[in-house]
Structure 1
Amino acid sequence: MADSAAAEFLGPVPEPVFEGEVVAAAHGLQQLGQVMDGALLIVIFATSGALEALATARTADSVRGLLDLAPATATRVDADGGEESVAVEELTVGDTILVRPGECVGADGRVLDGASDVDQATITGEPLPVAKAKGDEVFTGALNGTGALRIKVERDASDTVIARIVRMVEEASETKAPTQLFIEKVEQRYSLGMVAATLAVFLLPLAFGAALTGSLLRAMTFMIVASPCAVVLATMPPLLSAIANSGRHGVLVKSAVVMERLGEVDAVALDKTGTLTEGTPRVTDVRPLAGAGLKEDELLTLAAAAEHPSEHPLAWAVVDAARERGLDLPVAEDFGSTPGIGVTATVDGRKIAVGSPARLLHGAEDPRSAWAAVVAGELEDGGRTAVLVTVDGTPAGLLGIADRLRDAATTVSALTTLTGTAPLLLTGDNPRAAARLAAEVGIEDVRAGLLPQHKVGAVKELEGAGRKVMVVGDGVNDAPALAAAHTGVAMGRAGSDLALETADAVIVRDELATVPAVISLSRRARKLVVQNLVIAGVFIAGLVVWDLAGSLPLPLGVAGHEGSTVIVGLNGLRLLREAAWRRAAE
């Protein structure tokens, strides 16, 4: 299923076939003695075709990986309670399926019965598993936690969120028109025109009685001085040098076309989890309650000991926080876990519960419980996940857990200066957490609770207003927006395979500060391209006029042609210097 769907999505992998015009131009150059110029044309287009085939093949692998997120089978429950394993394609709207602990959800639907923590980061980008209970929506490919769920199917297999992600990537890739480099738009026609002009320079004087040798020599000189070598080198060295320099500093720009396009960006949309943040929860607050008789380290020790046997990401954050403080954790006994509520365990003879304040405080009316609810509200208003710790049934304190923020404020400021507009935040996370993080980094335009299609809609809205949008993200849920944007940039370390392949550039070391730097470097490369085109044009025009209107010696014509090529090439290579990156990063 995955292979056929990927093949249908991508079509056949193209062969690196040369354009007929390129072959004719190269052949003409060879016949006139310009073997190196003809070979240069062939090498450029052979390389381009090979890279296109490689990129297409790797994208096919990524699409297969995405489709493999959806399980091949699901457990369907009939009206009498009987169970049968069926292919997910056979499920219809209204069917009921059973998802056991540790299984992937086989269909988009709504929970009929049961409770569990579900990891749906691939779909929504939320950094932590989400508690699901009766009435909550779930998505195909989400990983179920420790509880069993009975789910009513609400979408056909062809209309699930994952299926729509594939379709949106396809549609965006087909409709996006990449900016073509000057070499692709002009050079082929120029080469053919040059061959035709050379024949005219040779044949027309003969028709009016000119000597054969003189006409041939003038035509040969014309062919040399009008050769587009300097024009070819006007474009590629600056862009390739910028690519190489970016690569040394952890930014993989996939092609010269992308490097050129980066400099056109005038609006930036940033994902939250894994982009502005590291995607790793950590304990930010340890709040013992007055009267509980516990200090911060004591509260954290009890919580970490109880959480130690758990596999929940919040539990890992609590245990890691205790280890960072060098705390010794006692052995927990009678461990138990209740999806959507938390864990319980006996630690040093005391009954410890760690979990959701809303669930653990439900129905409690004593003063300490009321104060715990107030503290929990303060933590959540600050964008943190509140975790309550109770000792022998009495609230003892709370922990605040949040995702680790990258050094994003400086990057946001630099992007605002470069583009003239502050970046916007596109995230599937909850609005309160998104607003809190946006305020920390200086972003005002926040769009939260978004599914992949909503992110694409936001990008198209901006591009419909004439903006050239860069999207920076890392997850499967970001891939459609990366494909739809003018330029897509993926975070390399935590990025999903599909995001990495869909994106035009990859931040290999997840250093967010390199995003404005590579935009600046691209703009410098574009300026050097213009400089080189002017230099090449002046040399070619001057030498051609000299040859046609006067008598340009062949050795001098060769020197002028090769000299212009060398000057243009060296000018483009200036962006290889370390100083070029430092200047771009300032």
Structure 2
Amino acid sequence: MASIGTTTAAAPTARRNPGFTRTRLLDVAEVRWALAATAFFLLGLTAQLVGAPVWLFWALYLACYVTGGWEPALEGLRALREKTLDVDLLMIVAALGAAAIGQIFDGALLIVIFATSGALEAVLTRRTADSIRSLLDLAPETAVILDAAGVEARVDAADLRCGDIVVVRPGERISGEGAIVDGSSDIDQSSITGEAIPVFKSVGNDVFAGTINGTGALRVRIDVDPSETVIARIVAMVEHASATKAKKQLFIEKVEQYYSKTVVVSTAAIFAIPMLLGSELQPALLRAMTFMIVASPCAVVLATMPPLLAAMATAGRHGVLVKSAVVMEQLRTIEVVAFDKTGTLTEGTPQVERVDAFTGFSENDVLTLAAAAEMGSEHPIGTAIVDYSRSRGLQVPTATAFESTPGVGVRATVDGDVVTVSKPEAEPKALPSECLSRAECETSAERTAAERESGGMTAVIVRVGGEAIGVIALADTVRSNLAATIRELERVTGSSAVLLTGDNPRAAHAVAERVGIVDVRAGLLPEDKAEAVRELQGDDGRRV
């Protein structure tokens, strides 16, 4: 995040850019050519060691030259046409020089080293392109709009314009950013804000492109150009960050021109000076080519990207995804660690944390009836209640007459009784027969739900025939052993950890308290998180 900029890109159009496909095909081809060159080299070496005819291992080594050297040679010639001398051409000349003096093994080895380094860098480039493509996939490629006559038409999402009315059906991803003008639904915003629980949205509320509509049908007025949506800005930030190179790599690229020219001039001098002093051609050429082989920059080529890639692969095997070489290089200098919440500190899915049962009912009664009513629901809360009930070995009866109301909850008939599972204050409260006063009856369930939500959980009230029988509280589960990990990070960096999340402040503070984080910044969009990182860096440029 330290290298994230504010450049805006028209992300939706990038999806249709054939450059992505061409780059991917070129990367795959580069890896295949490198593998072929390595295979020919190993075959040639084997043939040479077992005493095969000279023509055989020379032919295999020459095949290594062709498969591993044609692309660097082409790039070098292109650079030469532009009056620059780069390391590609230098390596090829060194390899050809080695063959000219009979040291074809050394030349083939240079080719293999160089081709392998290029292939490894191509793999990293492909991974970066894949990560950007996965972000693009968050937003649908097409959208259904209503024309002036109210007729639906499907268009490219990139062609949406402010003022267009987009139709979003249940379960679809929202194709544009704007305000709801008709309908209501629970919107899964986890890809943008990190909230594990869908958020109820109705007329007048804003929605983000790439978020998932729940069970309601929506009509959304586009208020934001496709190139300015949150998803587009995220893609632009990732592209900018991924294109940033490690300082050592930038340094090596800077000196590459000077190094290549120095080697060429020195090689020419080593060849020319003895010739002027009367040396024979073959010894002078041998000395010059030997120098060029020794001075060839294979060690320089392998000094940056391959070690970084190896470190990134090792981190990946231990569950740490590193998005760029810059991040890998700067890890040792980190002074402040900032965490996201959902899916990072937490598992990313809600789970039942507590069940409060009222007079005459047990926890199992509340869970059984709630699970029966939620059996037909696709909402994460319903799924969590059903899974938790099954994990406790409860026998869940079959419900009928299932109804789901976005932003409210579900209703179903279980064993002849109407069971509802709803958010607090989502429906009128009935009076249980044993209540002593109306105030007591109406506030007990709401009070319990409010207490649970004040602790950062999401609460639903379970009712049978309109009578509240219990409250189920859910929360996004914190990963195990996280508190100890954060304490160790704070010890290593010498600074307190920070939580940056798009979730609501109550949920954020509840998680932060459990893992030992004091500095909490909640309700942030992705660009707000980037700005928060810049604030943490401060004027002194702290590593975050």
Q: Normalising TM by the smaller chain, what interval?
A: 0.7 to 0.9
Residue type at the aligned position of 1:439: E
Contact 2:160–2:226, Cα closer than 8 Å, also in 1: yes
SS of equivalent residue, structure 2 residue 337 = strand
1:73-131 CA distance string (max 9 Å, x none): 224275x7x34224245654334444332333232222233321112222222212111
State the TM-score, normalizing by the size of structure 1.
Answer: 0.68
SS of equivalent residue, structure 2 residue 140 = coil
Displacement of 1:399: 0.6
Aligned residue number for residue 27 of structure 1? 93
Aligned residue number for residue 488 of structure 1? none
Aligned residues: 465
Contact 1:111–1:152, Cα closer than 8 Å, also in 2: yes
Is residue 368 from structure 1 mapped to residue 402 from structure 2 by the alignment?
A: no
The correspondence of residues 269-418 of structure 1 with structure 2, limited to 5 A, is: 269-289=338-358, 292-361=359-428, 366-407=439-480, 408-418=482-492
Aligned residue number for residue 143 of structure 2? 73
Equivalent in 435, 455, 462 of residue 509 of structure 2: 435
Displacement of 1:320: 0.9
Shift in CA distance, 251/374, structure 1 to aligned 2, threshold 3 Å: closer
Looking at structure 1, the residues matched to 104 and 323 of structure 2 have their Cα atoms a distance apart, in angstroms, of: 30
Equivalent in 182, 187, 202 of residue 133 of structure 1: 202
Residue type at the aligned position of 2:452: L
Aligned residue number for residue 7 of structure 1? 17
Equivalent in 178, 181, 186 of residue 246 of structure 2: 178
Shift in CA distance, 344/382, structure 1 to aligned 2, threshold 3 Å: same
Residue type at the aligned position of 1:266: E
SS of equivalent residue, structure 1 residue 121 = coil
Q: Which moved more, 1:228-237 or 1:406-415?
A: 228-237
Aligned residue number for residue 217 of structure 2? 148
Shift in CA distance, 64/359, structure 1 to aligned 2, threshold 3 Å: same
Q: Which moved more, 1:389-398 or 1:407-416?
A: 407-416
Looking at structure 1, the residues matched to 122 and 247 of structure 2 have their Cα atoms a distance apart, in angstroms, of: 19
Is residue 459 from structure 1 mapped to residue 527 from structure 2 by the alignment?
A: no
Contact 1:26–1:37, Cα closer than 8 Å, also in 2: no
Displacement of 1:423: 2.5
Looking at structure 2, the residues matched to 161 and 234 of structure 1 have their Cα atoms a distance apart, in angstroms, of: 38
Aligned residue number for residue 52 of structure 2? none
Is residue 93 from structure 1 mapped to residue 166 from structure 2 by the alignment?
A: no
Looking at structure 2, the residues matched to 447 and 154 of structure 1 have their Cα atoms a distance apart, in angstroms, of: 27
Displacement of 1:139: 1.8
Displacement of 1:217: 9.6
Looking at structure 2, the residues matched to 251 and 7 of structure 1 have their Cα atoms a distance apart, in angstroms, of: 31
Shift in CA distance, 189/252, structure 1 to aligned 2, threshold 3 Å: farther
Aligned residue number for residue 116 of structure 2? 47
Contact 1:201–1:219, Cα closer than 8 Å, also in 2: yes
Shift in CA distance, 397/324, structure 1 to aligned 2, threshold 3 Å: same
Shift in CA distance, 235/180, structure 1 to aligned 2, threshold 3 Å: closer
SS of equivalent residue, structure 2 residue 531 = helix
Aligned Cα root-mean-square deviation (Å): 3.9
1:33-66 CA distance string (max 9 Å, x none): 7656655554344334334445445555554554
Shift in CA distance, 132/3, structure 1 to aligned 2, threshold 3 Å: closer
Looking at structure 2, the residues matched to 61 and 252 of structure 1 have their Cα atoms a distance apart, in angstroms, of: 14
Looking at structure 2, the residues matched to 254 and 76 of structure 1 have their Cα atoms a distance apart, in angstroms, of: 40
Contact 2:352–2:473, Cα closer than 8 Å, also in 1: yes
Residue type at the aligned position of 1:379: R
Contact 2:117–2:306, Cα closer than 8 Å, also in 1: no
Contact 1:346–1:352, Cα closer than 8 Å, also in 2: yes
Q: Which moved more, 1:135-144 or 1:294-303?
A: 135-144
Q: Which moved more, 1:307-316 or 1:140-149?
A: 140-149
Residue type at the aligned position of 1:119: D
Looking at structure 2, the residues matched to 261 and 144 of structure 1 have their Cα atoms a distance apart, in angstroms, of: 39
Displacement of 1:209: 8.9
Looking at structure 1, the residues matched to 526 and 412 of structure 2 have their Cα atoms a distance apart, in angstroms, of: 39
State the TM-score, normalizing by the size of structure 2.
Answer: 0.73
Looking at structure 1, the residues matched to 504 and 403 of structure 2 have their Cα atoms a distance apart, in angstroms, of: 28
Displacement of 1:378: 1.1
SS of equivalent residue, structure 2 residue 204 = coil
**More relative contact order in 1 or in 2 (CA 8 Å, sep 6+)?**
1
Looking at structure 2, the residues matched to 234 and 397 of structure 1 have their Cα atoms a distance apart, in angstroms, of: 64
1:345-385 CA distance string (max 9 Å, x none): 12223221101012135798641221212111111111100
Looking at structure 1, the residues matched to 490 and 343 of structure 2 have their Cα atoms a distance apart, in angstroms, of: 21
SS of equivalent residue, structure 1 residue 314 = helix
Looking at structure 2, the residues matched to 231 and 102 of structure 1 have their Cα atoms a distance apart, in angstroms, of: 52
Shift in CA distance, 441/59, structure 1 to aligned 2, threshold 3 Å: same
Looking at structure 2, the residues matched to 230 and 55 of structure 1 have their Cα atoms a distance apart, in angstroms, of: 19
Aligned residue number for residue 79 of structure 2? none
The correspondence of residues 484-499 of structure 1 with structure 2, limited to 5 A, is: none
Residue type at the aligned position of 2:185: S
Residue type at the aligned position of 1:307: E
Looking at structure 1, the residues matched to 485 and 500 of structure 2 have their Cα atoms a distance apart, in angstroms, of: 16
Aligned residue number for residue 445 of structure 1? 519
Equivalent in 92, 106, 109 of residue 175 of structure 2: 106
Unmatched 5+ residue regions in structure 2? 1-10, 31-70, 77-84, 432-437
Residue type at the aligned position of 1:341: V
